[in-house]
Amino acid sequence: MKKIAPIVALAVIAAFASCKKDYTCTCKDSAGKETAKYTYPKVKKKDAQAACDVWNNAVKSSGGSCSI
């Protein structure tokens, strides 16, 4: 039983670490006013962050920013 417990614990941690969740990318203009929200349903955080980074690069030229 003592040998199985660490294996089960690692399996539970791995299951939660790879969970897919809903993330929202919020964009603001240079004055800090919210201009847009993009929702990414049931994705991994790194995928939502990558998509939000694309929006951030697009609005960065006008002084705005986007973040999760």
Q: Tens of pLDDT along 44-61?
A: 999 999 999 999 999 999
The answer to whether residue 62 scores a pLDDT higher than 80 is yes
Q: What is the pTM of this model?
A: 0.69
Domain count, the chain: 1
Question: What ranges in the chain are assigned the alpha helix state H?
Answer: 4-17, 45-60
DSSP label at 68? Answer: -
Q: How confident is the model at residue 29, as a pLDDT?
A: 94
CA separation for the pair 56, 15 (Å, rounded):
30
Distance of CA 40 to the CA centre of its chain: 8
pLDDT digits (tens, 9 = 90+) for 8-55: 555 545 555 567 999 999 999 999 999 999 999 999 999 999 999 999
41 falls within a domain: yes
Site of tokens 């939660």? 16
10 belongs to a structural domain: no
Containing structural domain, residue 40: 20-67
State residue 44's pLDDT score: 96
